[in-house]
Structure 1
Amino acid sequence: MKPAPDFLTHPHDPRDPSPWLALYLDQSTPLDDTVKAAWLKDSSSRSRQFVLPFVRPLARTLIVLIQIVKLLLPKRWAASRALHYLLAESMKRFVSPEANWLVLRHFTLGAQILEFIARNSPIPVETSPITPVALDELKDELFLKHDLNLFNFVIRLNQALRDHGRQLETVSEPDFSMITEPAVRLDAMPDKALNFMDLQTAIECFTPIYQLFLTDNDFWRATNSLQLDETIGIYAATILGAPQHLILLNNKHPLVPMSTLRAGYRLVLHGLSTEMLHALLMRMKAAQAGAPLPKG
């Protein structure tokens, strides 16, 4: 059992209130308490406060320089397996347990959300779920496969709907059977002296490396996949008949690609949006079954 974050153990001081405690106690957005505590512990870390401001401008400068260097490399040059080996080993050694846990959760949450949409579509659609529970599983090119799965799903879904002259529509009793808590455990994440780097700093560090080891097409596709947050949100909101929850999305508009320089920051928003949509689906599943609502 990992110790609780400082903002949950220190007494509340009305003259010096903790912003992290305020965000944790706030219930205006759907997020499981355990996830929220891990997210805010990571966000309130010294790494994010003192390391991220130095790393972010350096990382964005590297993105520009690498883009220039890649003009001189063969168009199809890539080393995806080496990239994923490097990412997995770096995460095991330098990234905080909370950040690693949130990253691994993300793959399973994304897979469940796509399956939810597919299962509640009027036309059956194939999905390719990715559900890692250990960091070493990332070495099987899972970051790249995650992006490919998203675009392939959107293409398959909409091609099937077009072929049959159908559209997604509100489902009175949605199928939530695939929506469950991921098997990945926080206490199984590496937690040694050097595992200090927060999620945002890690993403900023890894984005230029991701760009260097992939083709331009793969990197641009990965960056543009963030634009699909609103698309997936609209699909889920249509099925649920709950368009008000689209206000939680920040990666807009899907038809207006943004610069790769902000990919790291937008990737964090993407992860948070996925967590909140999954938490919302968990709440609706519990309500449909008449079970107690998950905390948060």
Structure 2
Amino acid sequence: MTDFRDIPHDERDPNPWLALYLDDSTPLPDHVKAAWLKDSSSRSRQFLLPFIRPLARLSIILIQILKVLLPKRWAHSKLLHRTLAFSMNRFVSPEANWLIMRHFHLGSQILSFIGANAPTPVPTQPLAPMEIDDIKDELFLKHDLNLFNFVIRLNTSLRTHGQHMGPVAEPNFGMLCDPPLELAAMPQGRFNILDLQSAIEIYTPVYQLLLTDNDFWRASNSLQLDETVAIYAAKILSSPEHLVMLNNKHPLVPLSTLRAGHRLVLHGLSTEMLHCLLMRMATGETPLPSREIAKTRQAAGRSPQPS
């Protein structure tokens, strides 16, 4: 955070990263925004990503052809996750690793928030890894499964009880917190330089190769549910304008897997922003729309009726 605040402002050559850091139009905590922008402005992203991205997308096409020849259930999920953990420990930048690890915590907390405030409460299975080696427990796969299972359980329960998601005057924010993950605790070896977007572009074809075709397609399509989850939260909060910056819509129109890496980065950013918005409402920093609506309705109910 100090790095960006110390950047001098030259009006003849304004720094774009300083502008993005100071901009407060979207909800992001300063320490998260600083880590995100430091990663985005790295040499790795500037010089490696333009070469990695087209090679990664070509790999996705070639692997898709290869999958036609492989057995339908061919997969090595445990090898995949051991490979991911190994590479994250040795090659991925501290900021990128920290943002990836935070994502499991934030996603779990957002689902718990929706589940706890639904008309028919729905249990969740939170994922809260504390170190990179925890990923070896097939964490990425479990993250995708959790999302789809939650949507199915929630809507099955709502249909069974004839209920719909709606405003909650006093939402339960008790499950929300800043994940207890320290940026300084992330691996900081000599080769830990790979930025978040480059790492994700590399991981996407590896993910495709070592999972079944069905698992990979489900993981890619899970990115389409960003809007779905945001709508649930917006209904609880009576705040449709706070659907954050969603780019992975529409959930009923699946997109090609070729851009899955880029969409995954957008998914991570929208999760950070939604969590930040909920945290601000929990602390009272941002007014809670559903509470204000409830007060307005209550006052209207006490108003004298016209004769």
**Native 8 Å contact 1:47 1:198 kept in 2:** yes
Q: Could you tell me which residue of structure 2 aligns to residue 8 of structure 1? A: 5
Change beyond 3 A, Cα 1:248–1:115: same
Compute the RMSD of aligned alpha carbons: 1.3
Amino acid at match of 1:277: L
Aligned length: 287
Whether 1:30 and 2:27 are equivalent positions in the alignment is yes
Amino acid at match of 2:86: E
Q: Could you tell me which residue of structure 2 aligns to residue 126 of structure 1? A: 123
Say which one has the larger Rg.
2
Q: What aligned pairs does 1:253-264 form with structure 2 within 5 A after superposition?
A: 253-264=250-261
**Native 8 Å contact 2:244 2:273 kept in 1:** no
Q: In the alignment, which of 201, 223, 226 is matched to residue 223 of structure 2?
A: 226
Whether 1:73 and 2:70 are equivalent positions in the alignment is yes
Whether 1:144 and 2:141 are equivalent positions in the alignment is yes
- The Cα of 1:247 is off from its aligned counterpart by 4.8
**Native 8 Å contact 2:26 2:244 kept in 1:** no
Q: Could you tell me which residue of structure 2 aligns to residue 183 of structure 1? A: 180
Distance 1:31 1:247 in 2: 11
Runs of 4+ more than 3 Å apart: none
Change beyond 3 A, Cα 1:87–1:177: same
Distance 1:58 1:4 in 2: 36
Q: Could you tell me which residue of structure 1 aligns to residue 59 of structure 2? A: 62
CA offsets per residue over residues 196-255 of structure 1, 9 Å max, x none? 000000000110000000000000000000000000000000001110012511110000
Amino-acid identity (%): 69
Amino acid at match of 1:135: I
Q: What aligned pairs does 1:78-89 form with structure 2 within 5 A after superposition?
A: 78-89=75-86
Distance 2:284 2:170 in 1: 11
TM-score, normalization by structure 1: 0.95
Q: Could you tell me which residue of structure 1 aligns to residue 18 of structure 2? A: 21
- The Cα of 1:9 is off from its aligned counterpart by 2.6
Structure 2 gap segments, 5+ residues each: 288-307
Structure 1 gap segments, 5+ residues each: 291-296
Amino acid at match of 2:97: N
**Native 8 Å contact 1:133 1:185 kept in 2:** no
Distance 2:2 2:196 in 1: 18
